[in-house]
Amino acid sequence: MNPDISGGPHARHDEVQEGALRPTLTSNKFYVSNSTTSEFRRADDPNDKSKRKGDLTTYGLFDDGATVLDTGITHPTIDSSISSLSSEVRAAGANAYAAAKDRRANAIIEEKGLDIGFKAITFGTYGAFGKASHKLIATATANSPLPVYSPWVRPGPKAHAYLLFGFTLARANARMLINAGSKRSSARNAVRTSRSRSTSQVAVHE
């Protein structure tokens, strides 16, 4: 899957998922597949048409079985960094977002008796890592061999994962702001053009 970098509604999400989450897992020898709706459906219930699904499914990361991972980045206008709580609790918005996602998904898993785990991997708009994101990086890189130290080569697996997520999120945010600026500029130009035409038509009729 190629990340959506066109500035669409899922552009940041897709870029972090495909540019950081998937590579972190695969480079540390965890099998990853795209999640499907069947994972949240009861196999013995042909009437279960649930459309819910996660983003990626990995195996043996948090549990022996499969775990559905759902990536999330807080919206710029509701990010924890603009609330008073963020001055006291780092990544408050990302953690609250993850808790809501986990609560909804785990309620479905428990209700249907599904044999699968779920973990929301969330980030704050301005770079904060949610608790589950820290846990994923620590768990995924725990058994990966450390390279011989050299300041000129790739750092250890854990440090590399943090840098990969950090830079990918920064690029995604920068692209979002550039695209937003372009759309605002286009909208202003469209208004100016419309006003100019209206004025010209009035002058002709006079």
Q: How confident is the model at residue 198 (pLDDT cuts 50, 70, 90)?
A: low
Nearest to 54 by CA among 114, 135, 8: 114
Which tokens hold the place of 38? Answer: 């069947």
Q: What are phi and psi of 45, to 5 degrees?
A: -125, 100
pLDDT, tens digit (0-9, with 9 covering 90-100), for 168-184: 999 988 887 887 777 77
Hey, CA dihedral for 33, 122, 164, 27, is it positive or negative? negative
Query: N- to C-terminal Cα distance for the chain?
Result: 58
Q: What are phi and psi of 120, to 5 degrees?
A: -85, 125
pLDDT, tens digit (0-9, with 9 covering 90-100), for 98-156: 999 999 999 999 999 999 999 999 998 878 899 999 999 999 999 998 877 776 677 88
| 58: three-class secondary structure by DSSP | strand
**What is d(CA 71, CA 68) in angstroms, rounded to the nearest whole number?**
10
Q: How confident is the model at residue 52 (pLDDT cuts 50, 70, 90)?
A: very high
pLDDT, tens digit (0-9, with 9 covering 90-100), for 73-88: 987 655 444 555 555 6
